[in-house]
Chains A and B, each alone.
Chain A
Amino acid sequence: MKIKMNLELKDEPGTLARAIVPISACGINIVYIIHDREKKQANGSITVQITVEAEEEQIKKMRHSLEKNKIRILSIGEERLIEELTFIMIGHIVDTDIKDTIGRIDETGYAEIVDLELKMPQKKKESSARVTIKAVGKEEVKRCMKIIERMAFKKSITIVYPVEL
């Protein structure tokens, strides 16, 4: 399961590594880290958001290990894909490797392609696809859009987004 946690770290060199090493030592896969040094708390510490993929036993071990390293867990919980975006792609979608597009989204760790419907008219004409992405939050949806737009530009694909975003 995917777990998101917020850790309180002192704003000094090496503290991020002190948090990551015990997590990795438990054999846990870190999916992504959001480390914003600009957002400081009143006591001068910073909050780092880390999303991991782990089993329950591994989580218990990790909590213990973090506490031992004097790293405070501000919040921890299972991460859910709550934000959804559906859009249409038009172009030579199959020829330009749609698997690669799906893979890039899935490997972000914060979003997945949950639905894809492809319509192909004739071989030489451009095909159309409807894609639904689910992500953990609005910010993550925006990041997915940037990934999609970069790929669309490279592969000459037109993206039709919803009018309200």
Chain B
Amino acid sequence: MKTAKISIVGFGSIGAGLATEIAKKKDFLKIKGYDLKVVTIVDVDGAEIDEDGLNIKSIIEKKERGEDFSYDKSALDLIGEIDQDILVECTPSNIRNGNPGLNHILTSLKNRVNVVTSNKGPLVVAYKRIMETAKKNNVSIGYEATVGGAIPLINLVKGNLRADEIVAIKGILNGTCNYILTKMHAEKRDYEEILLEAKELGIAETDASYDVEGIDTASKLVILANSLMGMDVKYEDVEVEGVTRITPESLDLADELGCTIKLIGEVEREGKRLKVSPKLVPYDHPLSVGGTLNIVLIKTDVAGEVTISGKGAGPKETSSALLSDILNIVDERC
């Protein structure tokens, strides 16, 4: 049995979702030979600590009751203090300076604690620095959950496709935009109306600008370009246009051509071209998927085109990617 002590930093929907899945799958994971113990949970409200493994259910109930956590400690306080194998960083993304996530990740790596994260900001801002710090301290970092939710994209390329060179990546990387465009097309309704509905359903954030203006897709492109294509690019290198100007009439005009409109993120190694923009996608094209689905088409020198699709967001789906990284690290390091 391989045992790993895990800390979860950031106990919002993603952090709580992961903790729930770890608790729910405890027996299944034991059958597979893994014993995962969540030893600390840290949030802005404080921390919960138990080196023998926390009772996740009671902590979630406590959080729901609005009660403070038991210890007035921050993530940075606990990194050197508590014995842990993997720190899971799930704080909200900040693509301007990467913090607080970047600080958590770097401190953790410097203290020889492996990291798994769903937080895009630190990787967009400081991919190279994070990788160098991990290498220097002989620890691992997993970031599958930063792009495409449940889709095992990064691990697929780094694993099964590791002999291939990635020439281009193109896809739908934001479920909120895909939902809005799919609904606008099907129901011939205005962007504003559908956005409001998406907010009510919890598919779009109250401030949806990050999604609808293409910022989220652009951030994911930067991570893919740097980590899978050996590029050295910044957010500013991406040409970005979102979906805010798409009209029901433009979708009608597309429909008459046998197409729909999708927000497509694309990166091409040649010419260092990174672009996020609405595109005409024929109904029979591999990228024509609806609802909140994400899809990615990877173009390689040997395999040619490989397409992979799945749910791009949601706490449960993101937990699948986080758990996959956690188990990879346990196999490798614990």
Q: What are the 8 tightest A-B residue pairs by CB atom distance, in nearest-first order? A: A119-B249, A128-B250, A128-B249, A130-B253, A163-B279, A162-B280, A158-B245, A163-B281
B252 within 8 A of A: yes
Residues of B within 8 A of A130 (CB): 253-254, 256-257
Some 26 contacts from A to B, beta carbons below 8 A apart, are A86-B257, A88-B250, A88-B261, A90-B246, A91-B245, A117-B253, A119-B250, A120-B249, A121-B247, A121-B248, A125-B247, A128-B249, A128-B250, A130-B253, A130-B254, A158-B241, A158-B246, A160-B261, A160-B277, A160-B279, A162-B259, A162-B279, A162-B282, A163-B170, A163-B279, A164-B285
Is A128 within 8 A of B279, CB to CB? no
B264 within 8 A of A: yes
A121 and B280 in contact (CB under 8 A), knowing A130-B256, A130-B257, A158-B241? Answer: no
Give Cα A125 to B246, complex, Å: 12
Residues of A within 8 A of B246 (CB): 90, 158, 160
Give Cα A123 to B264, complex, Å: 30
A129 within 8 A of B: yes
Query: Which of A86, A88, A90, A164 has the most chain B CB within a 10 Å cutoff?
Result: A88
Q: How many residues of B contact A (CB 8 A)?
A: 25
A87 within 8 A of B: yes
Is B249 within 8 A of A121, CB to CB? yes
Give Cα A87 to B261, complex, Å: 11
Give Cα A89 to B247, complex, Å: 10
The range of chain A's interface size is: 20 to 34
Cβ proximity bits A146-165 to B, threshold 8 Å, 1 near / 0 not: 00000000000010111110
Partner of A119, one of B170, B253, B257, B287: B253
Give Cα A164 to B279, complex, Å: 9
B220 within 8 A of A: no
Is B280 within 8 A of A160, CB to CB? yes
Give Cα A86 to B256, complex, Å: 12
B142 within 8 A of A: no
B266 to chain A: closest residue by CB? A163
Partner of B245, one of A86, A90, A121, A129: A90
B250 to chain A: closest residue by CB? A128
Is A163 within 8 A of B249, CB to CB? no
A58 within 8 A of B: no
Residues of A within 8 A of B262 (CB): 163
A101 within 8 A of B: no
Where chain A touches its partner, the secondary structure class is strand
| In the complex, chain B residues 31-69 whose Cβ is within 8 Å of any chain A Cβ | none
B312 within 8 A of A: no
Is A127 within 8 A of B249, CB to CB? yes
Residues of A within 8 A of B278 (CB): 158, 160
Is A126 within 8 A of B245, CB to CB? yes
Is B264 within 8 A of A163, CB to CB? yes
Residues of B within 8 A of A88 (CB): 250, 253-254, 261, 280
Give Cα A129 to B247, complex, Å: 11
Is A160 within 8 A of B247, CB to CB? no
Give Cα A161 to B282, complex, Å: 12
Residues of A within 8 A of B285 (CB): 163-164
How many whole Å from A10's CB to the nearest CB in chain B? 35
Cβ proximity bits A112-136 to B, threshold 8 Å, 1 near / 0 not: 0000010111000111111000000
Give Cα A127 to B15, complex, Å: 44
Is A129 within 8 A of B253, CB to CB? yes
Give Cα A140 to B248, complex, Å: 31
How many whole Å from A94's CB to the nearest CB in chain B? 13
Is A161 within 8 A of B280, CB to CB? yes
Residues of B within 8 A of A90 (CB): 245-247, 250
Give Cα A158 to B247, complex, Å: 11
Residues of A within 8 A of B253 (CB): 88, 117, 119, 128-130
Residues of A within 8 A of B256 (CB): 117, 130
Cβ proximity bits B208-250 to A, threshold 8 Å, 1 near / 0 not: 0000000000000000000000000000000001000111111
Is A87 within 8 A of B280, CB to CB? yes
